[in-house]
Amino acid sequence: MSDLVLENLRKQFGSFVAVDGADLTFENGKLTALLGPSGCGKTTLLRMIAGLESPSRGKIMLNGQDIAPLTAEQRKFGMVFQSFALFPHLNVARNVSYSLRIAGVDAKTRRARAQELLELVQLGDKGRNRIGELSGGQRQRVAIARALAQNPEIFLLDEPMSALDAKLRNDMQMELRLLQQQLGITTIVVTHDQREAMTMADRIVVMSQGRIEQVGTPQEIYHRPANPFVASFIGNANLLQGRTIKNGVRVDQTELIVKGQGELVPGAEVTVFCRHEAVRLSTDSLGENCVPGLVTFVRDEGVAREIHLETPVGRITAEIPGSFHETVRIGDRLIAELSPDTLHLLPVAEGVAA
């Protein structure tokens, strides 16, 4: 088996470009998440892979063959939609074996395969139930089992968790991930939820306005975002505008030392990136890059506290774990320490809100 490869794939609706020249390789047996805000083109990209939308340009290569001319039925990919799209008039087992019936598989084989798949998704005793008797999570498992009935080479899921409540969504993310690893099936999941992508994916493709902004492991995307868009979309980060100096960056009148970014060319406009959880707060200026600040907002999130400070470099948000700084109040004066090895410099992008 070889990888699924997209070459310069583009989709235009009239003059509107929904997907703009996507070059991507989906590795065999891995789970890739297509992640981005509403309208960024991720569903359109998935639909082109599924054969539900024809590309305006470019190739979709599977096993070295361009499958763009094939219909969705000919591709035989497994697909789970946001709505699950189950048949309410058929029982659970018949929903699962539906595509086998269409393919002319005999009744005995169909029944055996449906039972095998229902056991795989932990619904072995629900085959005779009506769809209306199942919970949201159980329906989703039926949709997954149905999509896997024909042993598809590629498994596609479009926002598969969005109809589930938060707790169930968390559980199903883990279940789906375990199932995918167990089967070793090449899987592509569309989501706008960065936590979902981080939980499930081997690789994340971050998209914005029809373009691919970055491709990487969850760790790479989180710790080494390629640009301010990715940095602000994934996790919580402080983004400050500055200009490089020999050993760091000047933000307004304040010089911050930056380490581990290679040799810096002074005078370049950059965005300084620092995760909320990387900021340390204290009452004394002890370390490097200490900026004084006035507390303007405090939010208790149980496991952590979010504290906003107005400082000479702009607003800094710190996320402090546990019950430390319990006594901090709006109006307090604190020092924010932006340790040099937690600062990363990103190229400036036009029109990106920090």
What residues make contact with ligand ATP under the rule CB under 6 A?
Answer: 13, 16, 18, 36, 38-44, 192
Q: Which residues of 42-63 are buried (b: 16+ CB within 10 A; e: fewer)?
A: bbbbbbbbbbbbebeebebbbe
Q: How far is the CB of 309 from ligand ATP (least distance, A)?
A: 34
Q: How far is the CB of 10 from ligand ATP (least distance, A)?
A: 12
In angstroms, rounded to a whole number, what is the distance separating the alpha carbons of residues 271 and 263?
16
The DSSP bridge partners found for residue 4 are 26, 62
Residue 173 or 208 having the CB closest to ligand ATP? 208
Q: How far is the CB of 206 from ligand ATP (least distance, A)?
A: 11
Residue 44 or 238 having the CB closest to ligand ATP? 44
Tokens encoding 222: 């989180």
Residue 41 or 242 having the CB closest to ligand ATP? 41
Strand order through the sheet with 344-347: 254-257, 248-251, 237-245, 269-275, 344-347
Tokens encoding 105: 């598989």
Residue 43 or 244 having the CB closest to ligand ATP? 43
Residue 39 or 321 having the CB closest to ligand ATP? 39
Provide the CA 181 distance to its chain's centre, in angstroms: 18
- Going by C-alpha positions, the residue among 180, 179, 205 that lies closest to residue 191 is 205
In angstroms, rounded to a whole number, what is the distance separating the alpha carbons of residues 204 and 197?
7
- Going by C-alpha positions, the residue among 309, 277, 304 that lies closest to residue 294 is 309
In angstroms, rounded to a whole number, what is the distance separating the alpha carbons of residues 58 and 277?
42
Residue 43 or 254 having the CB closest to ligand ATP? 43
Q: Which residue is nearest to ligand ATP (CB)?
A: 43
Q: How far is the CB of 81 from ligand ATP (least distance, A)?
A: 11
Q: Which amino acid is at 223?
A: H
Q: How far is the CB of 209 from ligand ATP (least distance, A)?
A: 9
In angstroms, rounded to a whole number, what is the distance separating the alpha carbons of residues 144 and 176?
9
- Going by C-alpha positions, the residue among 48, 43, 51, 73 that lies closest to residue 158 is 43
Residue 11 or 146 having the CB closest to ligand ATP? 11
Phi, psi of 114 (to 5 degrees): -60, -40
Q: Is 279 helix (H, G, I), strand (E, B) or coil?
A: coil
Q: How far is the CB of 20 from ligand ATP (least distance, A)?
A: 11
Q: How far is the CB of 256 from ligand ATP (least distance, A)?
A: 36
Q: How far is the CB of 156 from ligand ATP (least distance, A)?
A: 13
Q: Which amino acid is at 1?
A: M
- Rounded (10°) angle between helices 136-147 and 107-120: 130
Residue 129 or 209 having the CB closest to ligand ATP? 209
Total residues belonging to the chain: 354
Residue 210 or 242 having the CB closest to ligand ATP? 210
Q: How far is the CB of 191 from ligand ATP (least distance, A)?
A: 9
